[in-house]
Amino acid sequence: MSREILGRAAPSPIIRLCPMNRIGTILARRGEPGAWECLDEAMAAADGTGEPHQVVPVRLVRAEAYWLEGRTAEAIRETELADEAVNPRDAWLCGAVAAWLRRTGSVRALRTPRGELAEPYQHLVNGHWEKAAQLFSDLGCPYEAALAWLDAPDEAGLRKALDVFTSLGAVGAARLARQKLRALGVRSIPAGPRSATRENPLGLTRREREVLDLICAGQTNAAIAATLFISAKTVDHHVSAVLAKLGVPNRSAATAQAARLGLTR
């Protein structure tokens, strides 16, 4: 949906801000290339507005992306910048900032939040992760619910988090859930989404399938970059990965191989 918006919208930075932030969020959570290109553009646009409701969401996504990569210092820095920019009267953004200050281990999590927190976040900050998870689930926010379950001190809660992250293709957060389960001494931890492996035995990621579809449609790398709103360099990376996984030397062979394997749409 965000790519469709970008395809129809004028090239104004403010119009591109929200969809670029959402695409960057999804790519970061899936562990796919191109996330930082989107988030850098979104951050530049948000900073240009100087408006807290634009700046804070992008800062928090960047904090999450760093956190998923294990880059704690950068995650804390982004979260604290969000904390400095947040409007104290915005209970939802204040809540999100407070949650990420706590999640990243910022010392600011020890002080009183800047404003009132929305109910799910208040429960989360108070350590009532189960109640927070239920409220996020009731709101139709499974990823946020799973982040709350990630705070669980027991195997049952962490397995719930892992199940949700896996179902959403959120590989970074799923990896963190597995790490916490291993730290508890849990055995027989699911390695990954087996159903995805069965559906795609070549191991192509979602983005690589998109690139393959466009290769089969006869698009050049430049055209693919424009269609998917990623850089030509990122497209080169994906095309090389697709050719390697298909075991073919060039694009024509990839198209033929995809047809033989029933991968074309």
Q: pLDDT tens, 224-253?
A: 999 988 888 889 988 998 988 888 889 999
Average pLDDT of the segment spanning 39-62: 97
Reported CATH class of domain 1-110: mainly alpha
Whether the per-residue pLDDT at 185 is higher than 90: the answer is yes
Q: pLDDT tier at 198 (50, 70, 90 boundaries)?
A: very low
Q: Which segment of 94-98, 139-143, 148-152, 238-242 scores lowest on mean pLDDT?
A: 238-242
Give residue 55's pLDDT. Answer: 98
Q: What percent of the chain has pLDDT over 90?
A: 69
Q: What is the DSSP annotation of 34-65? A: THHHHHHHHHHHHHHHT-HHHHHHHHHHHHHH
pTM of the entire predicted model: 0.75
Give residue 12's pLDDT. Answer: 85
Give residue 258's pLDDT. Answer: 87
Whether the per-residue pLDDT at 2 is higher than 80: the answer is yes
Whether the per-residue pLDDT at 201 is higher than 80: the answer is no
Is there a contact between 54 and 74 (Cβ–Cβ < 8 Å)? Answer: no
Domain ranges of the chain: 1-110, 118-193, 202-260
Give residue 234's pLDDT. Answer: 87
Q: Which fold has domain 202-260?
A: Arc Repressor Mutant, subunit A (1.10.10)
Is there a contact between 33 and 237 (Cβ–Cβ < 8 Å)? Answer: yes
Q: pLDDT tier at 195 (50, 70, 90 boundaries)?
A: very low
Q: Which segment of 107-121, 157-171, 188-202 scores lowest on mean pLDDT?
A: 188-202
Give residue 36's pLDDT. Answer: 95
Is there a contact between 105 and 70 (Cβ–Cβ < 8 Å)? Answer: no
Give residue 3's pLDDT. Answer: 84
Give residue 213's pLDDT. Answer: 93
| Residue 243 burial (CB count, 10 A) | 18
Structure tokens at 63: 């904090």
Q: pLDDT tier at 192 (50, 70, 90 boundaries)?
A: low
Query: For all residues of the chain together, what is the average pLDDT?
Result: 91
Of the candidates 15, 36, 63, the residue with the CA atom closest to the CA atom of residue 234 = 36
Give residue 207's pLDDT. Answer: 87
Q: Report how far residue 227's alpha carbon sits from residue 205's, in angstroms, rounded to the nearest whole number.
A: 17
Average pLDDT of the segment spanning 193-210: 66
Whether the per-residue pLDDT at 141 is higher than 80: the answer is yes
